[in-house]
């Protein structure tokens, strides 16, 4: 406790230790809680970084080497870790997607589906802005079972197998960067098959050529965990147009992420 006080993480008054503006952010119920975001970078995640030498030498995932399965299979086989991961992603997304409804035009659209949307931060933001829009959230069964969403229809499934044909607009946010080019191509093919003619897909990603922030450390993280990396907008456009889509536009969502719009 004295050490935490020494680094400014707790305040000390007489014989009592008190939360301050830093430490209160790690409490469960704070509206801007970062508890799960911090937990996400400990444990197995930290172990993968401590074995980064393996990934640098081989290009393969140090996480997979340590735990015998890829990162997302590991999460799916450990429900407590899966919940912790998606809570962390929700904490990030809560801020990242707050301007999303102002950046995409869904006027005249009837149905929209968020593919691999976790606990629904993006689609919830859209539903609040477009209350008459029919919104769907699609993710793995174990993720959907932990969701608690109002006015959003949840669908269980695997985007490597198929994507339900229920909407004319798809949201694919921070999904492609988790996978190598071969697996990303499978996801995009299933997205293409799920959309009607003239359907729209919005892809949200960090595009390294559209920001001033250096993504080198994040790319190392993606390599250590997923054997992937942070791409440029040119790489994403090539990837998605190869799947059959036509590129339409790109706009900044925030200081880190961009929204790429494609049409079938």
Q: Which residues belong to the active site?
A: 177
How far is it, in rounded angstroms, from Cα 113 to Cα 120? 11
Residues 6+ apart with CB under 8 A from 25: 32, 33, 34, 35
Q: What does the CA dihedral 15, 21, 22, 27 come to, rounded to 10 degrees?
A: 80
Task: Give 169's strand partners.
Answer: 112, 200
Give residue 56's region: left, alpha or beta (phi > 0; psi -120 to 50): alpha
> Look-up: residue for tokens 């509206």?
31
How far is it, in rounded angstroms, from Cα 169 to Cα 113? 6
**Residue 111: CA atoms inside 13 Å, Cβ hemisphere, count?**
13
């Amino acid at each position: 406790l004295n050490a935490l006080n020494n680094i400014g993480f707790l305040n000390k008054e007489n014989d009592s230790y008190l939360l301050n503006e830093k430490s209160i952010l790690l409490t469960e119920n704070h509206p801007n809680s970062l508890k799960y975001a911090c937990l996400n970078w400990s444990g197995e995640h930290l172990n993968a970084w401590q074995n980064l030498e393996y990934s640098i030498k081989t290009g393969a995932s140090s996480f997979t080497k340590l735990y015998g399965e890829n990162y997302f299979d590991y999460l799916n086989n450990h429900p407590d870790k899966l919940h912790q991961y998606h809570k962390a992603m929700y904490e990030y997304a809560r801020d990242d997607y707050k301007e999303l409804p102002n950046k995409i035009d869904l006027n005249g659209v009837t149905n929209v589906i968020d593919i691999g949307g976790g606990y629904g931060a993006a689609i919830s933001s859209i539903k609040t802005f477009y209350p008459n829009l029919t919104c769907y959230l699609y993710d793995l069964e174990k993720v959907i079972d932990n969701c608690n969403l109002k006015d959003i229809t949840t669908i269980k499934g695997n985007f490597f197998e198929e994507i339900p044909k229920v909407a004319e607009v798809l949201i694919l946010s921070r999904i492609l960067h988790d996978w190598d080019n071969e697996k990303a191509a499978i996801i995009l093919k299933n997205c293409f098959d799920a959309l009607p003619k003239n359907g729209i897909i919005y892809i949200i990603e960090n595009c390294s050529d559209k920001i001033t922030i250096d993504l080198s450390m994040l790319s190392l993280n993606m390599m250590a965990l997923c054997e992937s990396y942070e791409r440029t907008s040119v790489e994403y456009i090539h990837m998605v147009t190869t799947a059959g889509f036509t590129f339409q536009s790109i706009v900044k969502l925030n200081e880190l992420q961009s929204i790429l719009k494609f049409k079938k």
